[in-house]
Structures are given as C-alpha cells and as structure tokens.
Structure 1
Amino acid sequence: MKKNNIFFKVFNEESILIQWNDKVSIKLIDSIISYKNLIEKELKEALIECVQSINSMMVIYNPNKINSKDLINILKKLSTSGFIVTKTKKKIWSIPVCYDISFGIDLKDLSTLNNISIDEIISLHSSTTYNVLSMGFLPGFLYLGMNHKKLYCERKDKPELNIKSGSIGIARDQSGIYPQDSPGGWRIIGRSPISFFNVDDKSPCFAEPGDKIKFQSISLSDFNKIEKNRSSYDIKYKLL
C-alpha cells in the first residue's frame, strides 16, 4: 500500500478509522481484504472487529488491551510491511432476478434517460460478473461493482419510501441489493425472490467482500415458484 494514500484517525475511544484515497477498484478491495486479514492475525485478543467498506475500514479494539496511539503505530507498520495480497479462489454466486416491469419500477425511466432499450438494460446487467465491494448501509446490503458504462446513472432525486426486499438497484457505476424493505434512492431494475439476510444463520449473509455475483434472469412464474419456497432455496456458487 502506498503510504501517502492511507490515513488513520481516532474515531472514538475504541475505534480507529482507516481511509484510502485510491480510486475504488477491485485491486484496492483485494488489498483491503488482505490487510484486514493481517490485522486480525496480528492483533488477536486486542481486536474486537474489523468492519470493511469500499475505501475505508473501522478497527474496533479493546481499550483495556491496547491504547489508540500504540494501535495506530501497529496499523501503520502493518500497512507498509509489504504483505502479499492473498490470491484465493473466489466464490461466484448465481442470483436469480426477475426483471419484470412490475419489479423494475425504474426500467422505463432508465431506458429513456440512457437512450437504451429495456432489453439491453437487462442483457447488460445479467451478463456482467459483479464483485462484492462491501456491505452496509443495511445489514446484508451488498454493494456490487462495476456496472457497464451504458448503465451509469445518478441516484433518484426523490428516494422511494419503501423499496421491497430483494430489489436490485443501480446508482452510478454500482449495483446494490436491498436485503429488507426500506427507503432507498437507487434506480430499481428488478427483484430477486431469495433471502439475502437471516440473523438466525451462523453467517447472516451468504456473500462477503471479495466474492462475485452473477445475476440470472428468470421469468415472473419462476420468481413466484422460488419465492413460495424461498426458505429451502439453495443459493448456488462455483469457485473461480
């Protein structure tokens, strides 16, 4: 990592915020993941949790085990230690999505805005392999990159009050999946019938940063069949 592109800040009495100035890219995400793994390995019991974002990471620590000054010194040392970005096999998750106009409430507007047909929007979106960049603002919300340049669009000026769970939205060069009903300003182009977050599971969300997502276009009838039996639906993946 370039020393002048990474910054450390005391966020509160038990958290350090690390931020990168680099342009968001898959290379940066992989580097942050490897750095996170190294921190978890080195800090051990002094570390409570590392929460990764697209270009930042929150290091939550036990102040009874280490103070912020010493921790920042360790984090800086680890960031310049020349660690190798881990190249592990990545999971590619196959996610069924129905792009029916009843779910894709912004398909028509996006078609007009970008001067492309709805069929082309669906084709471009379902043929792209996305990288899981980070998770949040809702538990299990997946930030995915990067959209085809023809799908680039800004967030809606007026957010919707209730976006349904499983909805697939796009904003700028990213796609996102809403894991639960919530307000939202992304442009919705479809919906998946599967569950994306279950607090009772050992891993509440099946995917994690570094994984990949491939959307599979399905019919409205297939959507209804899967949704009816969503609790038993087996989300498929393959290793790359």
Structure 2
Amino acid sequence: MYSVFVRCRSKGYTSVPIGVPASNVQIYILNSYMQEVPIGVAGEMYISGDGVSRGYLNQPELTVEKFVANPFAPGERMYRTGDLARWLPDGNIEYLGRIDEQVKVRGHRIELGEVESALRSHESVKEATVIARKDEEGSAYLCAYFVANGNLGTAELRKRLSEMLPQYMIPSFFVQVEQMPLTPNGKLDRKALPSPEGNYDFGVANEAPRNELDKKWFPYGDKCSAANK
C-alpha cells in the first residue's frame, strides 16, 4: 500500500521529494495545534483516506496515539506519521526528518531536518547533517557538518541560512568534512562526527558575537582560523 508517488525528473531539487498524494489519499502537514501550515513551512505529516488501517494489532495504546480523529473530515481518522515534512511549491512533499529528532536550544524547539534542508539548498553542498552538542556548562548548541564541492566558507553558509531560517536555528559551528562517517550498515554515524574545536571554519571574525555561546568562543575564532590555514 502506498500513499504518495513521485515522477523522477530533474527539477533542481536539493533532495528527492516523497511525492504527491495518491488519488484516494489525503495528506495534511500540521503544526502542534493541528492547523495546516503554509507551503514551505515544516510540520508533522498526517495521512487520511482509504489506505488508513484500523490500527496496530494488539497495541491499543499505540493505536490511540497514532490514529487520531480527522478535524477536516468529521467521522474519519488519520494516521500520525511522526515525520517532519513540508509542501513544495510544485505540489510535492519534501521529507525533512523525524519529529523525535527535534532538539531544544536556548528555549527554542528546532527541527534538525529543516536546518539540514536549508544547508543542502546551497548549490555547492552535496551532503549535510546537523546535530546538537553541549558545551562544558551543559548548554546545547547546533553544529553543522557538510560535504561540499571545493572549499566553502562559513560566512557564505551563514548568509544563505539567514535568508531562510530564524536566527536561533543557525548553527554556531560549521565543519566541512570530506565524507560523512557511516555505520557498518551504511547509516550516518553521528557519534563519529568530529568535535568542532579546532576543525571548524569560524568565518565571522569581523562580526560581533550573536549570543552567549558565541561570546565564549569568539576570542578563539582567529586563533583557530589561523591554525587551520
């Protein structure tokens, strides 16, 4: 049983979309208040229509959690996928990650997949992943890792992200790697990603610190940049 399909064409996508709803399926992308979000805005994907099952076998609690009433079609149910996605202008849906991959940084809940998608929108970025790390005081910060065609400066990436994301979603550090580390079964090995200390391109030596974390690391920016040249 499938709910979406996509025609494989080259349209300049930064990632392969998961497609458009099948004729007997309704897809909703909703915020935490069960309201539909605008095109291009991330939300949780819900599936309704003929393909929705009755629930999980012998798992009533999980069934209640995942199969919820459809507020847009009284009497019908929809499946809560737990997937983070957004509508594209051409009607396709782009998968951004899992809802449980959200992190909280300085009081803001952030969908890592949305930041990764913004990074991949840069024409020179081949791969990108973003993780949350903690400093010595236990404060969380975002660190972006990317594979690019040639050397790509942090300032350029920061500029691109600032045009697409709110300031609190822009990573504190950017690390360019030759390739992403993988586990034996071919999945991204986040634990093997290098620490940003001494491996990042600070890229903003002439810019003022944006937050408390930047203030703490700002004095070391020039030293690290010089050491990496």
TM-score, normalised to structure 1, is: 0.27
Structure richer in helix, relative to its length: 1
Structure having greater relative contact order (Cα 8 Å, sep ≥ 6): 1
TM-score, normalised to structure 2, is: 0.28
